[in-house]
Amino acid sequence: MKIQGKHYHTIWVDADDPTIIQVIDQRKLPFIFETFAMRSANDAFFAIKEMVVRGAPLIGVTAAYGMYLALFQLKNENWEEELNRVAEYLKSSRPTAVNLAFAVDEMMAFILANKNEADLNEKVLAKAGELKQQEIDFGDKIGEHGLKLIEEIYKKKGSAVNILTHCNAGWLACIDWGTATAPIYKAHLKGIPVHVWVDETRPRNQGARLTAYELGEQGVPHTVIPDNAGGHLMQHQMVDMVIVGSDRTTVTGDVANKIGTYLKALAAHDNNVPFYVALPSSTFDWEMNDGVKEIPIEQRAADEVAEIEGWHDKQIKSVRLIPEKSTVANYGFDVTPARLVSGLISERGICKADKQSILKLYPEKIYR
Ligand SMILES: CSC[C@H]1O[C@H](OP(=O)(O)O)[C@H](O)[C@@H]1O
């Protein structure tokens, strides 16, 4: 999508050196626009772990390019063993987004299948590019399917459609379009009036810093709200629908997403507000059935809660928010049970959050 009128993807091959993969450094947005150059699998691990890049689809594509970059560091003897270690290392960077493991496994299989090819590096770079393009296409299609939901509300209401979203499931979490934001961008581009309630999303404030930034750059009307305001807005009919993203959704429709999503789903359920989850097929976990019991929930550093970052004197500064003696619990995600989900918006269409409906969209997964 656009930043100051110029079209960007979140990740790209350096124009001058194909052994360098560039990403937008999201740690500094919206205050500073900088890129981060990845030259090794270690750089890719760092970028994912430290949230230089974040968002399930983007994490997956970054890891795919990490597997490509690993090829330049492998020694001849036992290179397959070494590559396996790199693959496990990349997977260990963040546990919840299933896209990560999906992409690493797909790249590993591709590399082994082509290991005797003279132009292996070029083929692997092209494969990572295919995964990147696939996520772009997924976001585009999610947008088209989700647009219909927004249009239906607009036709009934005849005025701006108020959509609440949590965290950042925008183009900055993907490559382009986004997942939760894709229907919003499609509606905006079609001239349908939309307004977005943007949950700030403590502690990393992906909503306040990233979703607000990207919506603003696209000219989409939006209002940043404290995480705890959503229930009140829904009680007063100020939210027409909720659209969020996902980091891992089970084949039964349980949705792992940024911490606080479950609370929004409860408020939506209590106020009969449609609660939709937008996700590509790369975010489904076809093996898991009970998301609350099985999905690994990342716990992150205490400082993310104990401190907050902002812009002061033309630089990014951190200030402490809590007493030195206080302890912190920093769960990165929660799981919304399928019973609270109105529907799933994937690149193949909209379905109910249950196994039968999901597998009807993805019949090739039935054998699992
Ligand atoms: C389209 S996936 C976006 C998803 O990822 C975010 O988590 P994080 O910023 O920690 O990577 C959040 O859960 C979003 O919904």
Q: What angle do CA 102, 247, 22 make, to 5 degrees?
A: 70
Specify the residue with its C-alpha closest to ligand 1, atom 5: 55
Render pLDDT for 214-256 as a digit per residue (tens, 0 to 9). 999 999 999 999 999 999 999 999 999 999 999 999 999 999 9
Q: Pick the catalytic residue: 199, 247, 285, 334?
A: 247
Domain 145-365 in CATH: superfamily?
A: Translation initiation factor eif-2b; domain 2 (3.40.50.10470)
Q: Is 67 within 8 Å of 111 (Cβ atoms)? A: yes
**pLDDT number for residue 368:** 55
Render pLDDT for 263-293 as a digit per residue (tens, 0 to 9). 999 999 999 999 999 999 999 999 999 999 9
**Ligand 1 pocket residues where CB is under 6 Å:** 54-57, 167-169, 173-174, 179, 206, 244-245, 247, 257-258, 332
Intrachain domains 2-134 and 145-365 with the same fold: no
In angstroms, the CA 284 to CA 344 distance is 11
pLDDT tier for residue 367 given thresholds of 50, 70 and 90: low
Average pLDDT over residues 146-153: 98
Specify the residue with its C-alpha closest to ligand 1, atom 15: 245
CA of 115 to the centre of ligand 1 (A): 34
Specify the residue with its C-alpha closest to ligand 1, atom 12: 258
Specify the residue with its C-alpha closest to ligand 1, atom 6: 55
Q: What's the half-sphere exposure (Cβ side, CA atoms, 13 Å) at 251?
A: 17
Among 26, 27, 49, 54, say which to mutate for ligand 1: greatest number of ligand atoms within 8 Å of CB.
54
Binding-site sequence positions for substrate: 54-56, 94, 206, 257-258
In angstroms, the CA 177 to CA 58 distance is 12
**Model's pTM, two decimal places?**
0.96
pLDDT tier for residue 197 given thresholds of 50, 70 and 90: very high
pLDDT at position 364 over 70: yes
**pLDDT number for residue 159:** 97
**pLDDT number for residue 319:** 97
Task: Identify the weakest region by mean pLDDT among 209-213, 246-250, 363-367.
Answer: 363-367
**pLDDT number for residue 366:** 86
Q: Into which CATH architecture does domain 2-134 fall?
A: Up-down Bundle (1.20)
Cα-based distances in Å from 271 to 148, 293, 339:
22, 27, 15
The yes-or-no answer on residue 247 being catalytic is yes
Determine what percent of the chain is predicted with pLDDT higher than 70: 99
Mean pLDDT of the chain: 97
Average pLDDT over residues 312-331: 97
Ligand 1 atom nearest to CA at 279: 1
Average pLDDT over residues 93-117: 95
- Residue 313 CB neighbours (<10 A): 5
pLDDT tier for residue 75 given thresholds of 50, 70 and 90: confident
Q: What is the ipTM of this complex?
A: 0.97
Q: Any idea where the domains of the chain sit in the sequence?
A: 2-134, 145-365
Among 227, 244, 258, say which to mutate for ligand 1: greatest number of ligand atoms within 8 Å of CB.
258
